[in-house]
Structure 1
Amino acid sequence: MGNSVWRASLGVVGAGALCWGVAGAVHLGFVRTNGPRRSGWGLADGGGWYEVALVVGALVTLYCTPGLLRRVEWWPALGLSAGAVAGVVSVLGLGQGRRYWIAASAMTLVGAAVPLANRFWGRHHPI
């Protein structure tokens, strides 16, 4: 397997985890936590794995996106699109309300924009 296959696989895993974490955030909602020493925002109780997936997926996706978009080959960019498709399935599996459809639409738009970004920008600026 070549370098492009590994990059595409990493893109699927990272984008899938990111979108699954976003689906959990849409489903559970954010709550403000107030503690004696610190306060902040987080997911409601039971959202620990969604938070981990959100953070780890964002880091992995940010790490691999430049290597996927800035290539002469177009197909590795489909790894990010495949992760977005997994996110659309997971968010619509959790609910059918308005916020779920908005999140699914945003994931669909980003997943469709990735190969176009590679086509019109990435091929002209390869790594």
Structure 2
Amino acid sequence: MGNREWRALIGTVSAGALCWGVAGAVHMRFFYHSNGGRAGGWNLPEGGGWYEFAMTAGFIVTMYSVPGLLRRSEWWPALSLSIGAAVGAVSVLTLGQGRRYWVAASVMTLMGAAAPLVNRLWGRHHPIRSLVGAPTD
């Protein structure tokens, strides 16, 4: 397996983890807790630890790998983000069928559909790439 394949695999797993964590957050609902006079924070209720971990770790790894997936001459690495978004849309709709579930699934689907388009419009014709002379892979 080459560099492109590993990068696409990592992008698929991290985007899937991010979207699965968001699906769990939609299902369990975030709540605000305050610490007395100090600033509070947003968390999931008890039992949502894996969703929080997947959402946080998936976000960090996905945001790190997105430029490497979208700024390529090939279009197929961008599909790894689409696959991760599809996993999230399916998982959010298996958790429930209410309005918030459909909104979350729609947003994930739109983001997944946008990834190859962003690669087409931004990734292949990025002006910094042509100035620096960076290789396509």
TM-score > 0.5, shorter chain as reference: yes
Deviation string, structure 1 residues 8-54 (Cα, Å, up to 9, x no partner) = 00110110000001001100001122335662110111111100001
Residue 19 of structure 1 aligns with which residue?
A: 19
Residue 85 of structure 1 aligns with which residue?
A: 86
Residue 33 of structure 1 aligns with which residue?
A: 33
Structure 2 unmatched runs, 5+ = none
The one-letter amino acid paired with 1:66 is P
**What TM-score, normalized by structure 2, do the two folds share?**
0.88
Counterparts of 1:66 and 1:89 in 2: how far apart (Å)? 25
Structure number with larger C-alpha Rg: 2
Structure 1 unmatched runs, 5+ = none
What is the RMSD of the two structures over their aligned residues, measured on CA atoms?
Answer: 1.2
**What TM-score, normalized by structure 1, do the two folds share?**
0.95
Counterparts of 2:40 and 2:118 in 1: how far apart (Å)? 39
Counterparts of 1:105 and 1:34 in 2: how far apart (Å)? 32
Pairing 1:94–2:95 present: yes
SS of alignment partner, residue 33 of structure 1? strand
Q: Which 4+ runs in 1 deviate beyond 3 A?
A: 35-38
Counterparts of 2:94 and 2:15 in 1: how far apart (Å)? 17
Matches within 5 A, 1:1-127: 1-35=1-35, 39-125=40-126, 126=129
